Amino acid sequence: MSPEQVAGWLAEALETGNPLAPLPAGTEPVGVEEGERVAALVLESLGLVPCGLRLAIGPGGGALAGPVLEGRLLPDGAAVALVTVRHAVVAPGVMGVLAEDLPPEPGGALPAFSALHPILDVSAWRLREPPSSAGIAAADLSGHGFIVAGRAKRGVAVGSLPVGMAPAGVRRRPETRDAAAALLAAAEA
- CATH of the structural domain 3-188, one choice from 3.20.20.20, 3.90.1150.10, 3.90.850.10, 3.10.450.30: 3.90.850.10
153-180 confidence digits (pLDDT tens): 887 777 767 777 777 778 877 777 777 7
118-151 confidence digits (pLDDT tens): 888 898 899 988 898 999 999 999 999 999 998 8
Per-domain boundaries in the chain: 3-188
Q: pTM for this structure? A: 0.81
How long is the chain? 189
Element (H, E) at 46: helix 31-46
Question: Among residues 52, 72, 54, 74, which one has the least CA distance to residue 137?
Answer: 54
Beta bridge partners of 69: none
How far is residue 175 from each of residues 120, 162, 167, measured CA to CA in Å? Answer: 14, 5, 16
